Amino acid sequence: MTQLEFKTAMSFRYGHPEPMAPGVVRVVAPNPSPFTFKGTNTYVVGTTTLAVIDPGPDDPAHRAAIMATAAGRPITHILVTHAHRDHSDGAAGLAEATGAPILAYGRNGPTNRTASAHMPSGKEFVDHQFTPSIRIEDGARIDGSDWQLKALHVPGHAPDHLCFALTDRRVVFTGDHVMAWNTTVIAPPEGRMSDYIASLERLLKRRDRLYLPGHGGRLDKPLRSVKAYLVHRQWREQAILAAIRDGASSIPEVVARVYSSIDERLVKAAELSVLAHVEHLAERRLVTCDRQLSLDQRFAPA
């Protein structure tokens, strides 16, 4: 088995601005959980006029910490990487406090798939009502007085996921697409493995030197991490395909073979991750299924 090395050490104080790069500070929101690690990272970009990337949860103390970090300088843009509540819930309150527009991809794009009752994926994390004041697509440029950000549409974890690249600085705000503390959750129908792999490969073509993720510490050798995550998913896919060719014909059967020992609380997450892989295999006709794939559907090797 390939062993990924996760970086779980992180020095920070909640609500306290920490410099990450010239003109970039991080403020960690107080919403730690098994899914958000220490909490959501909010980034403040710029020195005279400011952009806030991922306002985090709707928490008055966190909003006050963002305003204190701005210290009277105008916040002119609020950018949201994706409409999961731990990133987007604080956007409306911050917009009200600052008058700044909310920029994001939006939830009603052509890439969105409808959720099926058979495919639970932590729906409570998704804000289906989230509506940015300005919808931005891949390649959009957002200008401040001393910074420019470019949007990269990187679906996979979520259909609307954007990363934001700081132009000419080789720094990318990666949201939940690439993180150092853990692998990204890919849970259908919100998540899609084929999109995620393509979105990782897209980052490999760039020459960035620093990733600032939505949770956990910075990635100083980001391309190495992207490569490791690609290898990890390839390995996992091979193990899943081998299990299916060996007779496993449902998601729980595959999980039982591929994950030799697993915490009971993580079984659901493992099932959704395997479902994402099987869906990707079915898209390439390596696995066949009579009906639409779901957690309780039978399938077979092609």
Nearer to Zn ion, 127 or 176 (CB): 176
Which span (182-190, 207-215, 219-227, 245-253) binds Zn ion, by CB under 5 A? 207-215
Backbone angles phi, psi at 273, to 5 degrees: -65, -40
Q: Which residues pair with 78 in a beta bridge?
A: 52, 102
Nearer to Zn ion, 89 or 237 (CB): 89
Question: Helix 60-70 to helix 91-98 angle, to the nearest 10 degrees?
Answer: 40
Selected from 176, 195, 271, 279, the binder of Zn ion by CB under 5 A is 176
Site for Zn ion in 84-113 (CB under 5 A): 86
Closest alpha carbon to 278 in 257, 259, 299: 299
Judged by CB under 5 A, does residue 127 bind Zn ion? no
Nearer to Zn ion, 20 or 158 (CB): 158
Judged by CB under 5 A, does residue 190 bind Zn ion? no
Beta strand pairing status for 50-53 and 75-79? Answer: parallel
Q: Residue 103 and residue 143: Cα distance in Å, rounded?
A: 12
Site for Zn ion in 31-90 (CB under 5 A): 86
- Which amino acid belongs to residue 277? H
DSSP states along 128-148: TT---SEE--TT-EEE-SS-E
Nearer to Zn ion, 42 or 69 (CB): 42
Number of residues in contact with Zn ion under rule CB under 5 A:
3
Q: How far is CA 111 from the centre of its chain?
A: 16
Which span (23-31, 53-61, 188-196, 213-221) binds Zn ion, by CB under 5 A? 213-221
Nearer to Zn ion, 23 or 214 (CB): 214
Backbone angles phi, psi at 162, to 5 degrees: -115, 145
Rounded to a whole number of angstroms, the minimum distance from the CB of residue 86 to Zn ion is: 5
Residue ranges in contact with Zn ion by CB under 5 A: 86, 176, 214
